[in-house]
Amino acid sequence: MVLAFAPMGETEKAWELFELLNPVNHSNDVEKAAIYKVEPYVIAADVYAADQRRGRGGWTWYTGSAAWMYRLLTETLLDINIMGDKLHLSPRLPEKWDSYKVHYRYKETVYHITFSRISDNALPYLVLDNQTQADKNILHMVNDHGEHFVEMGIK
């Protein structure tokens, strides 16, 4: 459902559903961890609904599930997609976030990307190493073994 709501522009609903899926949220306090009883850093294939096991996780360490969760977060919600030497960036920030940072490694080069919410009357922007980029959603990367700093202003 998250994969459906996000592209439809239902950003808040998509993030709300993602938070339900996120295993960290099933164990972020002692009481929840005592019910969940599995690792909070892996995806559970099942979260039981039967009364005697309600909320307990099961069948963890499914690599397919973890891969889908990773793709859901990075490619759909954060909307960071690589195509060759380009990063296509169209992040969907939940309302409660003003900014976030991603450290993206492209071969032997690191891009430190800061995404910041801008006001409705400001224009979106993409700045690479203090140089404003003509394309506001595509970061052209090079493998120069260095570090680069990117700022993206989004609505």
Report the pLDDT value the prediction gives residue 115, as an integer from 0 to 100: 97
Confidence of residue 40 (pLDDT cuts 50, 70, 90): confident
* pLDDT value at 63 more than 80: no
Report the pLDDT value the prediction gives residue 66, as an integer from 0 to 100: 82
Cα 140 from Cα 144, distance rounded (Å):
12
Residue 134 CB-half CA count within 13 A: 0
Report the pLDDT value the prediction gives residue 68, as an integer from 0 to 100: 87
Confidence of residue 61 (pLDDT cuts 50, 70, 90): confident
Lowest-pLDDT choice from 19-33, 98-112, 134-148: 19-33
Give the CA distances from residue 27 to residues 4, 54, 80, 85, in Å, rounded to whole numbers and listed in that order.
27, 14, 27, 38
Decide if 40 contacts 33 (C-beta within 8 A).
Answer: yes
Q: Which residues contact 124 (CB under 8 A, 6 or more apart)?
A: 118, 136, 137, 152, 153, 154, 155
All domains in the chain, ordered by first residue: 1-77 (no CATH), 79-155 (2.60.420.10)
Read off the pLDDT of each residue in 89-98 and give the average, rounded to a whole number. 94
Confidence of residue 126 (pLDDT cuts 50, 70, 90): very high
